[in-house]
Structure 1
C-alpha cells in the first residue's frame, strides 16, 4: 500500500505518541528512583543512590520478592506441564469437545482479573477451606497458573503446527520407540517454544496483583502487593520507586527473551538429527 508523505508523517507521529504514553511514565519512575527528595515531586530535587541501598536492605521488600519468585516459578511449572499436555492433546488427536476445550484454555487470559480473582476466591472457600487448607502461597500459584497456561499452550501448539509429523514417523520407522522419538525429535523441535512460554508465564505471574489479592490471604505478600501497600506511605515513596524499577526490569527481560526465541525463524528441522 502506497501512502502519501503526509500520511506517513502522521502515522509516525501517532507511533511516537503511542510509545510516549507507554514509556514516558516508566522513565519518570526510573528517574524518581534517583530523586534525592522523599516525594514524587517533579523535577527531582537532586541525585542520590541512597534509596537503592535502602531498598536492598528493606526486609519487607526482600521477603516479598522471594514470595513473588516462588509463586512465579510454581505457576510456570504448572503451566508448562498442563499447557504442553493440552497443546499435544488438541493438536495430535480428534475428540469430542476439542474446540470448546481449546477455548476454555485460552479464555482465562481474556477475562478481567477481578472476575478471575472473585471466581477463584469463591472456589477456594468452598472446596479447600472445608478440607482445612487455607489461603496461602499454594492458592496464589494455582490462581496464577490459570492464565499462565495460556501462553505456554499458545507457544507450544503454534510450534507443533510447524513441525512435520514425517520426522517422527521416520524416527519410528528407524526403530525408535515413543520416548526416544520425543527425546530426539519432538522435544528439540519445541524446546525454544517451551522456553519462550515459560519466560512469558514467569513474567505474567511475577507482576500480577489483582488475582493475587483475592487468592493470597493475609499471610502472603508478593512484590506488587508490597508496592501497592507502601505507595501511600510518604517515607516509603522513594523505595517504592526503586522496587518498581526492579519489577519493570525483571518483567521486561523474560518478555524480551521470549520474543527473541519466538521469532528465531528456525525451520522445524533445525534442532533435529
Structure 2
C-alpha cells in the first residue's frame, strides 16, 4: 500500500507524540533519581549520585530486590515446567475439551489483576486455609507466568510440526529420548524467551502480589508503593524505580532479540 507524503508525515508525527507521552514520564523518573532536591523541584537545581549511594545502602530496598528476584525465579521455573507440558499436551494430542482447556490456560493473563488477586486470596485463606506468605505469592505469579511460556512454546510447536518426532519414534526412540534429542533442542530459544518474559512479568507485578503476600513479604514494587509518599524518601524511590525499569526492560529486550534472531534463521 502506497501512502501520500502528507499521510506518512501525519503518521510519523502521531507515532512520535505517542512515544513521547509513553517515555517522557520515565525520563523524568530517571532524571529525578539524580535530583539534588529532596522535594524533586523542576527543573532540578543540580545533579548528584548521593541518592544512588543511599539506595544501595538501604536495607529495605535490598531485601525487597532479593525477594522480588526469588519470587520471579521460582515462578519462572514453575511456569517453564507446567507451560511446556501443557503446550505439548494441547499441541500434540487430541482429546475431548481441548479448546476449553486451551482457553482456561490463557485466561489468567486476560483477567484484570484485581480479580485474580481477590480470587487467589479467597482460595488461599478460605478454601485452602493457608497463611499468606512468599509461597502464596510464587503460586499466584505462576498462574499468569505460565501463559507467556505456554504461548511461546505452543507457537514454536506449530511451526515445527511433528515430522521429526514421528521419524524419531519410527527409528525406535522412546518418548523421553525423542523429547531430549529432537523436541527440546528446537524449543530452547522459545523456552528462553518465554522464561525471560515470565521473569519480567513476575518481577514488577504489584496488584496480585498485594492480595497474596503476607505481612512480612515485601517485593520491590510493594516497597516502592509503601515509601512513595514518605518524607525524604521520594529521591530514593526514584532510584529504585530506575533499577526496576532496567530489570524489567532487559529480559523483554533479550526475549525479543532471541525470538527475532530465531525467526531470521528460519
TM-score, normalised to structure 1's length? 0.94
Alignment of 1:154-169 (within 5 A): 154-169=151-166
When residues 33 and 267 of structure 1 are mapped into structure 2, their CA distance, relative to the original with a 3 A threshold, is closer
Cα pair 2:86 2:150 within 8 Å, conserved = yes
Q: What's the offset of the Cα at 1:267?
A: 7.9
Correspondence 1:179 to 2:176: yes
Deviation per CA, 1:3-49, whole angstroms, max 9, x where unpaired?
11110000001100111111111111111101111123211121100
In 1: Cα distance, 2:161 partner to 2:96 partner: 25
Structure 1 segments unaligned to the other structure (5+ residues)? none
Q: What's the offset of the Cα at 1:82?
A: 1.1
In 1: Cα distance, 2:174 partner to 2:123 partner: 42
Alignment-derived partner of residue 32 in structure 2:
32
Q: What's the offset of the Cα at 1:266?
A: 4.3
Correspondence 1:258 to 2:255: yes
SS in 2 for 1:114: helix
Q: What's the offset of the Cα at 1:119?
A: 0.6
In 1: Cα distance, 2:264 partner to 2:89 partner: 23
Cα pair 1:128 1:134 within 8 Å, conserved = no
In 2: Cα distance, 1:198 partner to 1:186 partner: 17
SS in 2 for 1:234: coil
In 2: Cα distance, 1:180 partner to 1:100 partner: 30
CA RMSD of aligned residues (A): 1.3
Alignment-derived partner of residue 19 in structure 1:
19
Q: What's the offset of the Cα at 1:81?
A: 1.2
Structure 2 segments unaligned to the other structure (5+ residues)? none
Deviation per CA, 1:43-82, whole angstroms, max 9, x where unpaired?
1121100100100000000011111011101111111111
Q: What's the offset of the Cα at 1:219?
A: 1.1
In 2: Cα distance, 1:167 partner to 1:25 partner: 49
Correspondence 1:246 to 2:249: no
Q: What's the offset of the Cα at 1:127?
A: 2.5
SS in 1 for 2:261: coil
1:151 is aligned, of 126, 148, 152, to 148
SS in 2 for 1:119: helix
When residues 88 and 267 of structure 1 are mapped into structure 2, their CA distance, relative to the original with a 3 A threshold, is farther
1:209 is aligned, of 206, 209, 218, to 206
| Aligned positions, number | 266
SS in 2 for 1:264: helix
SS in 1 for 2:44: coil
TM-score, normalised to structure 2's length? 0.97
Alignment of 1:1-273 (within 5 A): 1-129=1-129, 133-266=130-263
Structure 1 segments (4+ residues) deviating >6 Å: none
Cα pair 2:224 2:240 within 8 Å, conserved = yes
In 2: Cα distance, 1:267 partner to 1:31 partner: 37
